[in-house]
Structure 1
Amino acid sequence: MSNIRITKQFNFETGHALYGYDGKCRNVHGHSYKLSVTVIGRPITDTTHVKLGMVIDFSDLKKIVKEEIVDQFDHATVFNKNTPHVELAKELTDRGHMVILADYQPTSENMVIDFSARIKSRLPENIQLHSLRLQETDTSFAEWYASDNPL
């Protein structure tokens, strides 16, 4: 049986600021992110299995990504936890806003690394994360590939 890749796409809105950056992105701003999640595995061949022919049910993959990424990051603001914006983050949180203080600079590159770990931890044993593509603007994106990141 062949390995098959399947991809599910997600959209979410997130704000961030890049602490110490020398351009406009040091200011708090937001993006309409598009995340493509590709997994690889073999379709189920057990004729008695309700998911016969599927690598993973798209709805199961959606549940994982929604819980780990979309529900956490959609309409949240992400700051590097070492930023001087910590006071702003506290005030926003106190006012009921969703704020994430990340252990990293919230660039698309670092976010996609974070997302890969979150998703991999939830996938069934027989399914591997193949790649992620996090599109920040119409012309800019970061990609993560399992083949580039061997254990």
Structure 2
Amino acid sequence: MKITKIFTFDSSHMLDGHDGKCQNLHGHTYTLEITVSDGLIPNGAKSGMVMDFTDLKAIVKQAIIEPFDHAFIYDGSNPREQQIAALLEGWNMKTLRLPFRTTAEHMSIEMYGRLKKAGLNVCRIKLWETPTSCAEYEGDHP
């Protein structure tokens, strides 16, 4: 059995060296679809559920929404992006350093890992950067 819950958050990033507009600092209202799979809970107050949507929301809020929302997400290995992050941090603005280029593809893999680490039996992440563009990650299926 699978359940899916949808979340939104706002972040900014840039793809330094990209050959298009995304080389510039810009933002997105991301839509994040989290799918969890498991058997149904057999007994108790949550009987008949894969998990309570409220519990799912709490895990996603802590692991993904709180660190990513309204942050400048940047590639910590890129010197130019590090300079921008340092400037923003000097103004007490929120940043999130990641160890890779901040594409939707990389971020969906990162989010999957964070949710697995939080103990969630996530089976799929779908990260929408725009209403028509998304990246999807299903764990062992690159």
| TM-score of the pair, normalised by structure 1 | 0.89
Identity of counterpart residues, as a percentage?
A: 38
Alignment of 1:92-111 (within 5 A): 92-111=88-107
Match in the other structure for 1:7: 4
Deviations 1:1-23 (A, max 9, x none): xxx10001000001001122111
Match in the other structure for 1:88: 84
Between 18-27 and 105-114, report the one with greater CA deviation: 18-27
Match in the other structure for 2:139: 146
Deviations 1:29-61 (A, max 9, x none): 000100000000111112xx2211111111111
Alignment of 1:15-54 (within 5 A): 15-46=12-43, 49-54=44-49
Distance in 2 between the 1:136 and 1:120 partners? 22
Alignment gaps of 5+ in structure 1: none
| Partner residue of 2:67 out of 54, 69, 72 | 72
Distance in 2 between the 1:98 and 1:60 partners? 26
Structure 2 CA distance for partners of 1:104 and 1:147, relative to 1, 3 Å: closer
Distance in 1 between the 2:137 and 2:84 partners? 31
The structure 1 segments of at least 4 consecutive aligned residues displaced by more than 3 Å after TM superposition are none
Look at both structures and tell me which one has the larger radius of gyration over its CA atoms. Answer: 1
Distance in 2 between the 1:76 and 1:8 partners? 22
Alignment gaps of 5+ in structure 2: none
Displacement of 1:147:
5.1
Q: Does the residue aligned with 1:148 lie in a helix, a strand or coil?
A: coil
| TM-score of the pair, normalised by structure 2 | 0.94
Distance in 1 between the 2:106 and 2:139 partners? 15
Residues matched between the structures, number: 141
Distance in 2 between the 1:130 and 1:92 partners? 35
Distance in 1 between the 2:137 and 2:99 partners? 19
Matched to 1:109, the amino acid is E
Matched to 1:32, the amino acid is T
